[in-house]
A and B are shown apart, each in its own frame.
Chain A
Amino acid sequence: MKPLIQARQLRYRYPDGTLALDAVDFDLFPGETVAIFGANGSGKTTFVLHLNGLLQGEGSLLVCGKPVVRENLAEVRRKIGIVFQDPDEQLFMPTVLEDVAFGPRNSGLGPEEAEQRALAAMKKVAMSDARDKAPYHLSAGEKRRAAIAGVLAMDPEILVLDEPTTFLDPPGQRELVQLLRALPQAKLIVTHDVAFARAVATRAVFFLHGTVAGSGPVDAIIQQFQWDIQLGPA
C-alpha cells in the first residue's frame, strides 16, 4: 500500500537558527489515525506546517504521491485538510456557511455548488442549524466542529488536527471522538491528550528534539516515553 504522506530526512531550520526538524522520517497510510506526541518545542507543529507547504525544508516530502513543491501546492492543499489549534483563527468569515464554503470556492467551484458542498459538510458535523450564525456566537465545541466542516468541505484525503481537544469540555471531547471515528479519512492528530489519543488513534509516533524517536501502538509509545501523568491519587 502506498503511503498518503511520506517524509524522508525532512530537515528545517528557523531563520533564527533553531533546528526544528532534524531528519524526520514518517509515513501515513490510508485508514490510519496517527497520534503525534512530543514535548512542547519538539517540532510537531513545524512538521504539520510542512505538510501543505506553509514551511518548506530540506529532504523529501510526498503528499498523495506528489512532492510538496510550489507547482503542486494548490493540489496538495485540496488533498490535505489542516484544522489548526485555535478555531478563532480558522473561522474568519462572517457566517459559518460562508466560512465552510471558503475552501470549495477557492478550489474553483461555483457559488451554488460550493454552497451544496458546505451544507453537506456542516451536516456531517451536526452544524446544519448554524449556517447563518456568526463564528463569535458559537460555543467552543461548535467552533471546533465548524472548523472541521470547513476542512471536510474541501473533500480531503487526509485530515490533520493540531491539538483538537483544546478548549473542549468532556462532552465536547466525547463528541469529537465520535465524529473522528466516523470520518473515513486518514488522520494525523497532534495532541498532549493521552486519553483522547487512546480513543481515536490506531498508532502513535513520538517527536523528540525534532526527530521521530519512536513509532508503534499508542499504549506502547506512552509507556516507552513515560507519556502519562502516572502519579496515583493525591
Chain B
Amino acid sequence: MHHATIDRWSRGQSAIHRLDARAKILSLLIVLIAVGTAPTAGIWRTGAGFGALAVASASLARLPLVGVFTRSLAVLPFSLTFAVIVYVTGDAYQASALLIKSYISASFVLLLVSTTPLPHLLRGLERLGFPAMLVLVIQYLYRYLFVVSREAQHMRTAAISRGFQRAGFRVAAGAVATLFARSYHRAEGIHRAMIARGFERHIPILAAERLRLSDGLLVLLTLGIAVIIRTGAMR
C-alpha cells in the first residue's frame, strides 16, 4: 500500500527524523514560498538549486532517493494539465517553470511526511496554530484509511472467491455504496466509543516537547539556503 511505505519511512532514525515537527513544517513553508514565488527567469537555476537541496536532505535522512523522487511524480497529473494549457498558448518557458515548481514542491512535502511520523506532524501543526478541527479530520482520515482499505480488500477477496472476475459499473457502484455504508456505521461506533470515555468537544493533547537548538538551526539554515538560491538565480 502506498501510504504504508511512507509510514515506514517516517519512522526512520536519522538526524532529520529526530528534529521537531514544528521546525520541519516551518522549513517546508520557507522552501515552498521561495519556490512558489521564484521568477520564471532563471527557473532552471532555481530548480537545480532546490533540487540539490532536496537530494541532500533525502540523503541525510537516509531515504531511498529513487523511491522518494519517483513518488513525487504523483503531482504531475495535476500540474501537467495546466502546463499543457500554458504550452498551447505559446509560453513554453512558463510551462516548464510550472512543472519544475510543482515537482520540487511535491518532493519537499514528501520529504516532510517521510521523515515525520504522522502523529508528530499533526501535533506540530496543532501547536503552530493550525485549526484543531482540521487536524482532527486529517488524523481520523489517516487512522481509518487503513481500516477502510482493508475492508475494501476483504470485499474484493470475498467477491473473487465467489467467481467474480471483472467489475461492471453496477457491481462497482454497489461495492462503493456498501463500503460507504460500512464506513458510516463504523463512524457511529467510533463516536460511541469516544463518548463512553468522556469526549465532549475537544481532543485533548499530551504535553508538548521542548524545541531544541538544532530545531532553530534547521529553520535558520533553510532560510539562508533559500535566500542564497533565490539571489543566485537572479544574477
Residues on the A chain within 8 Å of B7, using CB: 134
Q: Establish whether residues A111 and B206, one from each chain, have CB atoms under 8 Å apart when the complex forms.
A: yes
Interface size on A, residues (CB 8 A): 35
Segment at the B interface, from A15-23, A87-95, A122-130: A87-95
Contacts of A90 in B (CB 8 A): 193
Q: A90-B193, A111-B207, A114-B204 are in contact. Are A106 and B198 (CB under 8 A)?
A: yes
Residue of B nearest to A135 (CB): B143
- Max chain B CB contacts within 10 Å: which of A81, A94, A98, A102? A94
Is A150 touching B197 in the complex (CB atoms < 8 A)?
yes
Indicate if the CB atoms of B206 and A115 lie closer than 8 Å.
Answer: yes
Bound Cα distance A107, B117 (Å): 28
Is A36's CB within 8 Å of the partner chain B? no
Can you name the residue of chain B whose Cβ is closest to the Cβ of A90?
A: B193
- A101 at the binding interface (Cβ < 8 Å): yes
Cβ < 8 Å to B, chain A residues 131-190: 134-136, 150-151, 154
A102 to B206, CA, bound (A): 9
Q: A92-B143, A95-B119, A103-B198 are in contact. Are A84 and B193 (CB under 8 A)?
A: yes
From B17-25, B88-96, B153-161, B184-192, the one touching the partner chain is B184-192
List B residues at the A interface (Cβ < 8 Å).
Answer: 7, 117-119, 122, 139-140, 142-143, 146-147, 186, 189-190, 192-200, 203-207
Given contacts A93-B203, A103-B198, 10 further A-B contacts (CB under 8 A): A54-B195, A54-B196, A89-B192, A94-B139, A98-B205, A103-B197, A106-B197, A112-B207, A115-B206, A135-B143
